[in-house]
């Protein structure tokens, strides 16, 4: 009897131990979670461009001669820095130069004739006055006095005509010089020659109406740059000129540049297969930031609509549905769901109005399998 009782007790203990071991080995393993402590800091509400923006020069001139012709002078090279007023290109213009010299010679000749005629006219005028006085005293005939008067008037008219001829010749010189200017490209500002389309002795022609042709010289002012970027039409309604901007460039991935909104387009771009956007321009705040820039760099802008300088914040990636988070409980080695109320947010941080306290640790990898209220957990890395 005792032996049977002992056997039954042994079986019961064996089964209980087996059940315990099975449950122990089959119990859910704690999930590994990444956490971040709730902290105080700045949170900004921002909007960003929908597609990559572009760095543009404040001044860029795509220059071509006003007339067609053969390139006679090309004193600059691509990449060369030039000064305002410097000659960039000149077409063959020997015919105009010869015409200018001829016109200048005609002016000199006309001026000499005018001087001679006007001196004679002055002398004739004095002679006519003397004969009129003599005629009044009866010393000369009326006919001789009238003849002197007529000759003085004729020479006076010839003097006036000479002056008009000089004015006409000078105007002709101005017209020839204007045509000469059309054969030259002069730098309208200090800058860098970005591109030259043409070589010495090649012919260039101006663009026909309605047909765009490459410019002879593309000149860029590299002392001033700005960013233009498309903003979604929904976000653009919140943007105001003067708002601060964070600018990032693919060419300088580890740097952020400060700027401000300087212009918002007055119309919406409606391009096929793309969202409707509004172009926004931003200028760099610090002049030293543009020293290494090149026109054409891709750029992104983040416009700061609103900022909380010192508020409770958590990483935005830790929030589910905008209303809840999971908090790691170190004393129980598990995670617990909490309801929260949020304020402003961006891609990095979200303001917490209520529901969390500084120091609590929220779970970042909320999309991981097994993350749920009451789940056992352990920290996969040191708290940040």
- Tens of pLDDT, residues 233-265: 999 989 999 999 999 998 888 888 999 999 999
Write down the pLDDT at residue 290: 83
Closest residue by Cα to residue 156 from 148, 146, 168: 148
DSSP β-bridge partners for residue 88: none
Tallying the residues shown for the chain, one arrives at 384
More confident residue, 274 or 62: 62
More confident residue, 112 or 284: 284
Dist. CA 243–CA 259, nearest whole Å: 9
How sure is the predictor about 383, in pLDDT bands with cuts at 50, 70 and 90? very low
Q: Which of 14-18, 107-111, 215-219, 256-260 has the lowest mean pLDDT?
A: 14-18
DSSP β-bridge partners for residue 338: 325
For residue 18, pLDDT over 70 is answered with no
Where do the domains of the chain lie? 43-56+224-379, 94-181
CATH class of the domain at 43-56+224-379: mainly beta
How sure is the predictor about 384, in pLDDT bands with cuts at 50, 70 and 90? very low
Record the pTM.
Answer: 0.66
**Bridging pattern class, strands 361-363 and 324-329:** antiparallel
How far, in Å, are 114, 196, 273 from residue 374 at the CA level? 111, 70, 46
pLDDT (mean) for 122-138? 69
How sure is the predictor about 75, in pLDDT bands with cuts at 50, 70 and 90? very high
Give the number of other Cβ atoms within 10 Å of residue 40's Cβ: 11
Tokens for 105, please give them: 């010679």
pLDDT (mean) for 11-19? 64
Dist. CA 348–CA 350, nearest whole Å: 7
């Amino acid at each position: 009897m005792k032996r049977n009782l002992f056997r039954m007790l042994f079986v019961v203990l064996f089964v209980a131990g087996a059940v315990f071991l099975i449950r122990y080995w089959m119990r859910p393993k704690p999930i590994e979670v990444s956490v971040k402590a709730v902290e105080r800091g700045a949170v900004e509400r921002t909007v960003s461009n929908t597609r990559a923006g572009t760095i543009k020069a404040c001044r860029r001139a795509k220059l071509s001669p006003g007339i067609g012709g053969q390139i006679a002078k090309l004193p600059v090279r691509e990449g060369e820095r030039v000064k305002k007023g410097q000659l960039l290109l000149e077409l063959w213009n020997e015919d105009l130069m010869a015409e200018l010299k001829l016109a200048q010679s005609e002016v000199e000749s006309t001026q000499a004739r005018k001087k001679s005629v006007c001196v004679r006219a002055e002398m004739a005028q004095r002679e006519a006055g003397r004969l009129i006085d003599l005629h009044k005293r009866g010393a000369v005939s009326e006919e001789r006095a009238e003849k002197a008067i007529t000759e003085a008037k004729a020479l006076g008219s010839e003097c006036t005509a000479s002056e008009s001829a000089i004015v006409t010749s000078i105007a002709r010189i101005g017209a020839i010089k204007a045509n000469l200017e059309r054969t030259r490209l002069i730098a309208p500002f200090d800058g860098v020659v970005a591109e030259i389309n043409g070589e010495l002795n090649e012919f260039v022609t101006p663009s026909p109406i309605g047909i765009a042709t490459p410019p002879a010289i593309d000149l860029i002012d590299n002392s001033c740059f700005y960013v233009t970027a498309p903003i979604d039409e929904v976000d653009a309604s919140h943007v105001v000129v003067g708002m601060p901007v964070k600018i990032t460039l693919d060419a300088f991935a580890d740097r952020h540049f400060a700027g401000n909104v300087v212009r918002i387009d007055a119309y919406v771009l409606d391009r096929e297969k793309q969202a409707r956007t509004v172009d926004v321009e931003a200028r760099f705040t610090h002049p030293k930031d543009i020293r290494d820039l090149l026109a054409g760099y891709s750029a992104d802008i983040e416009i700061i609509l609103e900022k909380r300088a010192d508020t409770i914040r958590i990483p935005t990636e830790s929030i589910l549905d905008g209303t809840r988070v999971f908090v790691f409980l170190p004393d129980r080695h598990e995670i617990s769901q909490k309801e929260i109320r949020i304020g402003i947010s961006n891609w990095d941080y979200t303001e917490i109005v209520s529901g969390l306290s500084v120091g609590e640790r929220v779970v970042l990898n909320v999309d991981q399998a097994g993350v749920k209220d009451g789940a056992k957990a352990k920290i996969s890395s040191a708290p940040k």
